[in-house]
Amino acid sequence: DTGVSQDPRHKITKRGQNVTFRCDPISEHNRLYWYRQTLGQGPEFLTYFQNEAQLEKSRLLSDRFSAERPKGSFSTLEIQRTEQGDSAMYLCASSQTNNEQFFGPGTRLTVL
């Protein structure tokens, strides 16, 4: 296992379409986080899973966003009815309890 992986790395979509991103954490990491990073900003927290339970969601996560982590392994982040303001880098990170968070390479979303 070489680290956190994310798929796809790039996604271009038209406004109004639905998109889904996948994150595969480091195996045995029980904590998984999603962040969003826009140009010139630091990453902002979106949501957090401990095992399969989604324990916290940011107010940034509107009702068009949904995240899952079935069986406490990989996670998906879906955005419905995408808007141009959703264009950003979506980062996934995993950790073991409160230790260092390891980040994936991110999925860059462009909404036209």
Q: Interface residues with another protein (CB under 8 A)?
A: 31, 33, 35, 40-45, 48, 50, 55-56, 91, 93, 95, 98, 100-106
Rounded to a whole number of angstroms, the minimum distance from the CB of residue 105 to another protein is: 5
Closer to another protein at the Cβ: 46 or 111?
A: 46
Nearest to 93 by CA among 111, 80, 112, 107: 107
Closer to another protein at the Cβ: 56 or 83?
A: 56
* CA pair distance 101, 55, nearest whole angstrom: 17
Q: Which two tokens stand for residue 23?
A: 């994150």
Closer to another protein at the Cβ: 46 or 82?
A: 46
Nearest to 5 by CA among 22, 17, 28: 22
